[in-house]
Amino acid sequence: MATAKLILKNGNLLTMSEPEHASAIAVDEGGRILAVGSDSEALNIAAPDTLIYDLNGRTLIPGFFDCHVHILWLGMNLGHVDIAPPKGKTKEDVLRLLIARREEQPSLTCIQGSGYDQNVLPGARHLTRYDLDEVSTHLPVRINHASGHAAVVNSKALEMLEFTRDAPNPDGGEIVRDENGEPTGVLLETASWSLLERILPETTPHEAVEALGRASRYLLERGITSASDANTPPNAIEWYEEAVATNALQVRVNSMVGWAEVLKQIGESGIPRPRDLQPNRYGLDGHRYHVGQAKLFADGAITTRTCWLNAPFSDSTNNYGIPLHDPYELLAYIIKAHNAGWQIATHAIGDRAVDVVLSSYAEAQRQNSRTLPAHRIEHCMLLDANLITRLRRQNVWSVGQPEFIARLGDAYELALGAERANRLSPYATLEKANVAQAFSSDNPVVPGAPLAGIYAAMQRETPSGRVLNAKERVSAEVGLYAYTTAPAYATRTYQDRGALEMGKLADFTLLSADPTTTPASEWERVQVVATFVNGECLYGAERL
């Protein structure tokens, strides 16, 4: 038998496999798990030069897998002005932070802030172009909504975008206007990201690789060893390849490629299959980076009042949200991806959007039956009994973000009212109904620490301390599975990840305490101590 290059002993290993517990793990030279068992079993395959660490009873789990995170967006945002609450709780806070950046970096050609959320401002009112004009009248200013589904810009940016009072709304978006028909500076959905090249300098490959490196370090600090980029533009695949090849990006990544953009670029000829978009410039193996899913959007977000609902938002009589595609167009996109062999991941938050996506998946499967295509609905938030039954019947994944409740729950009740807010993200009901579900973060919409996400699923407390439906709380065991093993199945990478098993990749996270036995009241005791990828400690080596 091969000898180990690394052994971790005297630990509390939660294997997510059989047996459920062990005390030691051994890793071979290739970065695979060589053995999982007792200390003596692991030490029996030690060589004179084997690196051996004593875990002193601490808990080792399979590496956290965030299967819906915007990695490049996260990395770029880490270079913007952080105006997220609590830093940006008032208009004055936001403007002060943006002005400080303008003064610190006078060479900027655009001033950007990220993490903006109007729901925490007095009266839940958006800032306007005129507010941002106080930051600058000669430079474009843009603040990105935390949801990624809206932005506010100043008058200079509106001028550069040519968003005048007479400009039409783009398909799937809205240029918000005041009572006189003048743009307010608030841009929703496609209006918030179309024509951005007019105000933002073009991202260079070097800047993109740097941003991916920043994101990688951020994820490793939170115990994340694998991540799925939830909307990779086709042209960004090369940036990911280079970031992995140069070791700037050290977490394992699979990309959900923006499917509408793929089809727009190639036209109707030659619908690509998954293997057609795999990276090849550097000969990377698919364990470090690969293209995994076709990503689509059915609607927007709750906090921006753009998710697609069956009944209007509680603070409006006629706002049902914004479908980002006509249902027939969305169906056509889904059928093309399904027929080409893709696993499809579609963003759908409102109940109407979830309904349309499930119907589209069913029609695609009716036309071309595939064995367990493992299609997914990202977020999958506002559900009822019928939608839950259909999720189970169709074997569709629900990929949720429990940290949304902890960070945005009060805004959800403001937008939807108490009854619908309490129906959001019914994790316990989904578990009981045997619906396949995985947890993730949607970072940078929220900070995206898996331990915070698991705690949020256990408690379901909003920022004000209210509980959104205590019956939908889940146990720490369910949350841990949903953030480690389930994502490996949801991304079809379970052969190599998601459990501490012989032959799988040596990706694991060391915790200070056992999350399955630590009371919620003492959850702060559970911290990430170290993160390993391929048997190498990439974060926290000084604490081993």
Residue whose structure tokens are 């936001």:
94
Residues 374-388 pLDDT 10s: 999 999 999 999 999
**Range of lowest pLDDT (15-24, 257-266, 350-359, 477-486):** 257-266
Kindly tell me the burial class for residue 520, based on how many C-beta atoms sit within 10 Å of its own C-beta (0-12, 13-18, 19 or more). exposed
Strand order in the sheet with 289-297: 64-69, 224-232, 252-258, 289-297, 343-348, 376-379, 397-400, 437-439
Residue 270 banded pLDDT, cuts 50, 70, 90: confident
The CATH classification of domain 205-490, taken from the options 3.40.50.2000, 2.60.120.1440, 1.10.3210.10, 3.20.20.140: 3.20.20.140
Q: Locate CATH 2.30.40.10 in the chain.
A: 4-63+503-543
C-alpha–C-alpha distance, residues 63 and 331, integer Å: 36
Residues 210-241 pLDDT 10s: 999 999 999 999 999 999 999 999 999 999 99
Q: Locate CATH 3.20.20.140 in the chain.
A: 205-490
C-alpha–C-alpha distance, residues 310 and 177, integer Å: 25
Residue 269 banded pLDDT, cuts 50, 70, 90: low
Nearest partner of 408 among 473, 363, 463, judged by Cα: 463
Residue 512 pLDDT > 90: yes
Q: Tell me, rounded to whole angstroms, the distance of Cα 531 from its chain centroid.
A: 19
pLDDT of residue 405: 98
Percent of the chain surpassing pLDDT 70 = 99
Residue whose structure tokens are 């079993």:
41
**CB distance 343 to 373 below 8 Å:** yes
Dig out the tokens for 86 from the structure: 């609590």
Contacts of 228 (CB under 8 A, 6+ apart): 66, 67, 68, 69, 253, 254, 255, 256, 292, 293, 440, 487, 491
Q: Which CATH class is domain 4-63+503-543?
A: mainly beta
Nearest partner of 21 among 42, 43, 36, 41, judged by Cα: 36
Residue 482 pLDDT > 70: yes
Q: Locate CATH 3.10.310.70 in the chain.
A: 79-198
Q: Which CATH class is domain 79-198?
A: alpha beta
Residue 1 banded pLDDT, cuts 50, 70, 90: low
C-alpha–C-alpha distance, residues 228 and 67, integer Å: 5
pLDDT of residue 193: 83
Instruction: Enter the pTM of the model.
Output: 0.92
If residue 39 lies in a helix (H) or strand (E), which one and from where to where? Answer: helix 39-43
Residue 275 pLDDT > 70: yes
What SS3 class is residue 196?
helix
Residue 283 pLDDT > 80: no
Residue 267 pLDDT > 80: no
pLDDT of residue 281: 81
| Mean pLDDT along residues 162-180 | 93
Q: How many CA atoms lie within 13 A of 115 on its CB side?
A: 26
pLDDT of residue 2: 84
Mean model confidence pLDDT for the chain: 95
C-alpha–C-alpha distance, residues 125 and 158, integer Å: 20
Residues 288-326 pLDDT 10s: 999 999 999 999 999 999 999 999 999 888 999 999 999
pLDDT of residue 194: 83
Contacts of 248 (CB under 8 A, 6+ apart): 209, 210, 212, 213, 216, 242
Residue 282 pLDDT > 90: no
**CB distance 525 to 518 below 8 Å:** yes
Residues 179-189 pLDDT 10s: 999 999 999 99
| Mean pLDDT along residues 143-170 | 93
